[in-house]
Structure 1
């Protein structure tokens, strides 16, 4: 368990957060691996990570991934998470290992990600896009795919979507006709777009690794969301 956790997270363990700011009573050096292990096992060690489908798969967060502070519960071999959506803390318990990941990019959750893939996007590409309910909330990362423009015949040999400024993003977990099913962005000058009713779409990252795509597909809801 210890070595698998230690190797999973490519950030500095020396910058850990504990429940108390007091000096440890143990004689172990503060920056030793054993001191870290004791702190982890006791649940006092909190570290940054991201959680898929937060709030136990709540329908409002399906196929998303949000920043959180996590600690390990050795009794259940699961994690607890603290989210800070809007000035208040929300805690989730019993999070399994497969719902965690290290952040895919270094962009903080309140900062617009620099989209460096816009000119490469074409129908069929898998993407993650930042989205937030309003401008006081942090961004989460949401899974989607690049779709075809309505004017396109969807024939791969004659598709010109790659050459158009407008890019269609589809979220096929939602039914046809849902306001969450599709959005469009401009590949030339994309910034945050949206409104208070539908939320705000931010930066985009293209997913290249098959293992990341497979992970998102494994989280696919059994039924279309409303």
Structure 2
């Protein structure tokens, strides 16, 4: 019997995702959520290079963090990177402490990254990855709460002054387990740092200016203010406290009340601010500043008013009105 001839036709070859055209591969990766990109990045070095590119992470950063990560947070991120790259700042001599940190890090990471990514990290515990200047690195640091960034926190509370609407500077970090933030406020008059847990997304905004919390904001809008303008003004209880921001509107002078159709308030050196969240008769309902030489004004009993910024965005005004007490007229 003649020997059986081997077939010259081989079986079907397995197709890898890397066999796809570059454009098709990018279209697929663009559809993946952050966790999916991290999973794909753990497959091989080629996919890692693609899946960690800024091009694929820009959309995710913009969608989730774009509203909060402004110029101040970007500057803080650069400082964070510089600190992380300093070997003396990351050296840990106590092995138990290092192990405890590793377990905590892995637990937090599981909220965001898939198991295959965690496995890669666990297998190489002695080679922790340093943060880099990629968008993915920033996204990861934000998600894990490793990066505290500057923000301002809206507050609404009922106290002896009435409804207090304010906005204060803080350093915030994200908690992926509760989808809220931890805010660390500057020391107050007692030099104690205040920590607030569970701060929700809608209470945060990026700092609209670079003025530190203890510094007077230099007003550049005083000559333009006229009745009906929406403003924010710095206020602090005493000179040992950091400034917060109050929302108000520019009102007419008393001499203008009877003839507002002939209003000339914008020509006066006196500017009247009204804070309608406080009841009529409250000492905090109205304040008067001088348009020409306004600096910090006030007293230890009524607090100190600082710099003024005019609100030009409807979104900013709308945000304050979302916090407005029900039943109070704007």
| Greater helix content | 2
Instruction: Find the residue that maps to 2:317 and give its secondary structure.
Output: helix
CA distance in 2: counterparts of 1:76 and 1:203, whole angstroms: 36
Which residue in the other structure is 2:133 paired with?
Answer: 31
The answer to whether the Cα contact below 8 Å between 2:277 and 2:285 also exists between their aligned partners in 1 is: yes
CA distance in 1: counterparts of 2:208 and 2:79, whole angstroms: 19
The answer to whether the Cα contact below 8 Å between 2:157 and 2:165 also exists between their aligned partners in 1 is: no
Query: What is the deviation of 1:82?
Result: 0.6
Which residue in the other structure is 2:175 paired with?
Answer: 73
Which residue in the other structure is 1:42 paired with?
Answer: 144
2:186 to 84, 108, 119: 84
TM-score by length of 1: 0.88
Instruction: Find the residue that maps to 2:172 and give its secondary structure.
Output: strand
User: Aligned pair 1:58/2:157, yes or no?
Assistant: yes
CA distance in 2: counterparts of 1:223 and 1:81, whole angstroms: 30
Query: What is the deviation of 1:116?
Result: 0.8
Query: What is the deviation of 1:108?
Result: 1.0
Which residue in the other structure is 2:70 paired with?
Answer: 10
Query: What is the deviation of 1:164?
Result: 0.9
Instruction: Find the residue that maps to 2:256 and give its secondary structure.
Output: coil
The answer to whether the Cα contact below 8 Å between 1:168 and 1:182 also exists between their aligned partners in 2 is: yes
Residues 40, 188 of structure 1: alpha-carbon distance in 2 compared, 3 angstrom cutoff: same
Structure number with bigger Rg: 2
2:292 to 188, 191, 196: 188
User: Aligned pair 1:122/2:226, yes or no?
Assistant: yes
Residues 209, 45 of structure 1: alpha-carbon distance in 2 compared, 3 angstrom cutoff: same
Q: Which moved more, 1:185-194 or 1:153-162?
A: 153-162
1:209-224 → structure 2 map (5 Å cutoff): 209-222=313-326
CA distance in 1: counterparts of 2:242 and 2:287, whole angstroms: 20
Which residue in the other structure is 1:168 paired with?
Answer: 272
The answer to whether the Cα contact below 8 Å between 1:49 and 1:70 also exists between their aligned partners in 2 is: yes
CA distance in 2: counterparts of 1:143 and 1:27, whole angstroms: 44
In structure 2, stretches of 5+ residues that fail to align are: 1-33, 35-59, 92-125
Q: Deviations over 1:56-91 (max 9, x none)?
A: x33358321110000001011111101124221111
Residues 25, 212 of structure 1: alpha-carbon distance in 2 compared, 3 angstrom cutoff: farther
| Greater strand content | 1
The answer to whether the Cα contact below 8 Å between 2:182 and 2:199 also exists between their aligned partners in 1 is: yes
TM-score by length of 2: 0.62
How many residues were matched structurally?
221
The answer to whether the Cα contact below 8 Å between 1:62 and 1:221 also exists between their aligned partners in 2 is: no
CA distance in 2: counterparts of 1:131 and 1:182, whole angstroms: 13
User: Aligned pair 1:22/2:90, yes or no?
Assistant: yes
Query: What is the deviation of 1:160?
Result: 1.4
Q: Deviations over 1:161-217 (max 9, x none)?
A: 111111100000000000110100000111100000000000000111111111111
User: Aligned pair 1:149/2:217, yes or no?
Assistant: no
CA distance in 2: counterparts of 1:106 and 1:204, whole angstroms: 14
CA distance in 1: counterparts of 2:325 and 2:80, whole angstroms: 34
